[in-house]
Structure 1
């Protein structure tokens, strides 16, 4: 048979065409495979990046920096107002804490660092501006206006920049969350589409393998290497749920060494959970892909791994389901990072206890079921004297005290109770499921008892103790704010009645707190409207009976409540910091009055009582200096009186202050001697010009016996404190001690002629009291002084 001309070249052309087609098909299949897998990985990673990007560590650090900036500004304001306890060291501490927060903003690890880099110039500029304040803060004084102005200006600018940065970071986080949410909705569909592309490429390869064994074998080997090299676990199952293929990553996740050991097994038999078989069965039954979901699977290293799993069907010719593909991505590290971030946001870094944020959320959840599961008690706890431990022994010992106290409190609580650290030395306990109020009382008493035991920390033996306030739901409220507020009120009552005790909230406590707050507000109004004024009680020389000075006494005439006792409003002023402007007012008025009397021809020195806290914080000298400079008063016309409370503060600081006052020409008097600390060891070192005998000892002179009794011999030897003559011996001892130290003696509260006669016999220098003159207005004291001068002139004549 003859071959038509050109047949052989045509066959060669057809074979060549088929070869080119095979090559093109192989190329297309490979591209589809690689693009599907690569794009799926990219989209999965993008989704993980978006989810991680919604967890902004920098937001936490920027918020902390803003909080510390506000605390610094509050500390600066309190320092400027000279509030007790707010010295330069505390201001410097707040400044150092603020500076330590700024580098955290630059070092914050984010899923997407572009936003952090965009704001790094702001952080660097802000840190540089704040660091320039260090020289001002090191030498800052409350009366140095330029330095305060510079610091306040930088703090205000820093506040604005940090607020803008925080707002920008919150905006970025909100956009990231929204973007992640939208992306998550599309990820499942995209994942199934990518799997379809993957399966399509695999089917093309299988068709080519059927047509060309050699090329199919090469393609199979190429495909296998590609699949095994993927960091995603891939497994294929037949419609009966039996494994037919698994890549290397899948084998590692299933804790298997060879694929042959896994073939024919069900998904649950590969180390996965029972839900894996259900997923495969559901895909076979529904013939649709399942959306991605998280599951946990034990790993060969003994840990549990978190997997993001998707399951999809593979259809053959005629629409028959031939395979079910299960793809798993290990997201354990990402989820662990998320967990750590959440833990840091909800727990205290020192004690690892829940912080205020987690405490509030937990309390809210408990209150929602309070009527069903029983009463809920909230205990607010303050460690007593914690500040003194920090100030005297340092913050490391203070931190150890907080850790030890936390451990003790945990040991007294039931399972289900929550202990949280709200800040500083403030703790709180949620005690749910109570049947009786006594259960809350018993826990509070146990906490007081265990916290009151001595601590042995870093070689020190400490006694801190605690005060506890308790509120109950539903009796005292059903919201987080109301319960915490009333527990705080009870805590305030516990601290105000002596500390080291537990107090349960009652409605009268709330009324008392409202009354105290009203008194505080009225006191502020009194300062602003001039309701506070001075009266003056004269002092007399006992030997001559002549007026020799006076004591300035503060009076408050309330427009509605009338006269309010200093014993009622002075403690409020000391707690709220109003004692500082009140002291300034008293010093200013006293100095002006002394100069006014001098202009009238009278030399009447004025004594002013100053709080011991002013000298513990070394503020007293500044207050006196300001008053003298503002009024032009002669320092010789001013006398400063302090109580023995200065011994309980810093005796060294008090000594420096008193020496400075004496160099200025101001006399220093020790008031109410004998009723407080009365350390003779301190007394011999503190430079007092005057020692005032407390009125309680003067009242004891009524039992002194006959006027002619000897200075130290009234009554039998060894007589007790209440025996006749004891008062005389005590006053005699004080007079001798004061004179031995070179100080004058002033007797307070002289009310009878017998007391005055005894004081004259004992050699007391001066006296004041109702017998000699009650507190009076300035003009009345002028009339008294002039009357005495006239009487003295008549006696001379």
Structure 2
């Protein structure tokens, strides 16, 4: 074989350029493959918009999670404004003008600042939505279903503030409600604190067992709750001790009206585990601001009035009086 002439030899450019092009294409394909893998395996919805706010990517999880119909993509991906309008018109953002919903959301996007919030869909699903602007223009939005997480958080919070047996507010929540009510009386208004002990409850536990006692307490809680207004608070403080914050009353006698209703409700027999049980209740009442303006003061004075009711023969109620301190 004869040697190549110098002019027939390939130049550096001719020999390296195809290799460079092939390497770039391979690198691009690899990046696209990785991006597709990320999108397909993302644990929620993800969508990408270019700098003109046109959608260029939307994974199947997002389409399913937000119930996007196939016709939404009939002419290709929608732009962001069309997507917002579609959601607004089907009630996704709640009541109000669709134009106003679209305007507010576009305004948020155009600020080009990261944002994160929770939205409850009409079907009850709670979504965590995050929007992040991209440095080269465009926007990426992610959607995560946090319904179960939110439900668990609410359950934990509820359990921390409610009695496990009766589901009434516990002492901690009662104290919080009472503090709020006291704060209102400092501006204007009157409230009453009613402390209740059940009469003849111990024999129920002793003779019929704790299961019967627990069932009785649950029925008592139901009757107490049915005897007050929605904005009053009934709480179980422990054992057979209950308390009520009666708000927005006009005079002391309003608390007496409620106390009579409670005594009558507790006087009616309870059907528990096949037995007809008669108990009753004794009640002590303090009124703010007349009897004090602190939680400890009002509870202490209601307790003193309660002891007087017990000494008087039970099944009755008493208002706090100064002689209770003696």
**TM-score bucket (shorter structure):** 0.7 to 0.9
Kindly indicate whether the alpha-carbon contact (under 8 Å) linking 2:232 and 2:247 is maintained by their aligned counterparts in 1: yes
Q: Which residue of 1 aligns with 2:98?
A: none
The CA deviation at 1:238 is 5.4
Go from structure 1 to structure 2 and tell me whether the alpha carbon gap of 1:277 and 1:305 turns closer, same or farther (over 3 Å shift): farther
- The gaps in structure 2 that reach 5 residues or longer are 95-100
Q: CA deviation at 1:460?
A: 1.3
Q: List gaps (5 residues or longer) in structure 1.
A: 31-218, 513-797
- Please tell me whether the aligned partners of residues 420 and 428 of structure 1 are also in contact (alpha carbons under 8 angstroms): yes
**Which of 262, 269, 294 lines up with 2:118 in the alignment?**
294
C-alpha displacement of 1:509:
0.8
Aligned pair count reads 308
Q: How far 1:22 sits from its partner (Å)? A: 3.6
Question: In the alignment, does 2:26 pair up with 1:23?
Answer: yes
Paired with 1:242 and 1:419, the residues of 2 have a C-alpha distance of: 55
- Picking from 52, 57, 77, the partner of 1:245 is 57
- The alpha carbon displacement at 1:225 in A equals 5.1
**TM-score (norm. length: structure 1):** 0.37
Bigger RCO of structures 1 and 2 (CA < 8 A, at least 6 apart): 2
User: Once the 2 structures are TM-superposed, how far is the Cα of residue 243 of structure 1 from its aligned partner?
Assistant: 4.2
1:433 Cα shift?
0.5
Name the SS for the 2:142 alignment partner: strand
CA displacement at 1:418 relative to structure 2: 0.9
2:270 corresponds to which of 438, 455, 464 = 455
Q: Which has the larger radius of gyration?
A: 1
Match of 2:44 in 1: 232
Report Cα offsets for 1:271-309 as digits up to 9, x if no partner: 64276763443232x3x32232222223xxx3x222222
* 1:474 to partner: Cα distance: 0.9
1:490 paired to 2:292:
no
Aligned to 1:266: 83
Map of 2:219 onto structure 1: 404
Equivalent position of 1:281 in the other structure = 107
Cα displacement string for residues 428-462 of structure 1 (whole angstroms, at most 9, x for unaligned residues): 11100011111111001110111011222222121
Q: Structure 1 residues 242, 477: closer, same or farther in 2, change over 3 A?
A: farther
Please show how residues 691-730 of structure 1 align to structure 2 within 5 Å: none
Residues 96-128 of structure 1: CA distance to partner in whole angstroms, max 9, x if unpaired? xxxxxxxxxxxxxxxxxxxxxxxxxxxxxxxxx
Q: 1:557-576 maps to which residues of 2 (within 5 A)? A: none
Matches within 5 A, 1:428-467: 428-467=243-282
Q: C-alpha separation between the residues in 1 aligned to 2:61 and 2:262?
A: 54
Pick the aligned partner of 1:14 from 17, 20, 43.
Answer: 17
Per-residue deviation at 1:268?
5.0
For the Cα contact (< 8 Å) 2:168–2:235, is it kept in 1?
A: yes
The match for 2:125 is 305
Distance 1:423 1:14 in 2: 84
RMSD over aligned CA atoms reads 2.5
TM-superposed deviation, 1:19: 1.8
Name the residue aligned to 1:256.
Answer: 68
**Shift in CA distance, 241/446, structure 1 to aligned 2, threshold 3 Å:** farther
Judged with a 3 Å threshold, the aligned counterparts in structure 2 of structure 1 residues 12 and 239 are, in CA distance, closer, same or farther, namely: closer
Please give the per-residue CA displacement for 1:26-79, whole angstroms capped at 9, x wherever unaligned: 55xx3xxxxxxxxxxxxxxxxxxxxxxxxxxxxxxxxxxxxxxxxxxxxxxxxx
**Residue 194 of structure 2 aligns to a residue in which SS?**
strand
The one of 190, 195, 212 aligned to 1:375: 190
Please report how far the alpha carbon of residue 479 of structure 1 lies from its aligned counterpart in structure 2 after TM superposition. 1.4
Q: CA deviation at 1:232?
A: 2.3
How far, CA to CA, are the matches of 1:400 and 1:314 in structure 2? 60
Greater share of helix: 1
Does the 8 Å contact 2:114/2:133 carry over to 1?
no
Q: Which residue of 1 aligns with 2:97?
A: none
| CA displacement at 1:492 relative to structure 2 | 0.8
Q: How far apart, CA to CA, are the structure 2 residues paired with 1:437 and 1:3?
A: 115
State the alpha-carbon separation in 2 of the partners of residues 6 and 473 from structure 1.
105
CA distance 1:289–1:3, change in 2 (3 Å): farther
Relative distance call for 1:507 and 1:241 in structure 2 (3 A) is farther
CA deviation map 1:627-648 (0-9, x unaligned): xxxxxxxxxxxxxxxxxxxxxx
Cα drift, residue 483 of structure 1: 0.9
Cα distance in 2 between the residues matched to 1:485 and 1:310: 50
1:713 corresponds to: none
* Counterpart mapping for 1:166-245 below 5 A: 219=32, 223-224=35-36, 226-237=38-49, 243-245=55-57
Distance 1:326 1:438 in 2: 59
Q: Deviations over 1:289-336 (max 9, x none)?
A: 2232222223xxx3x2222222222355xxxx4x33222222222121
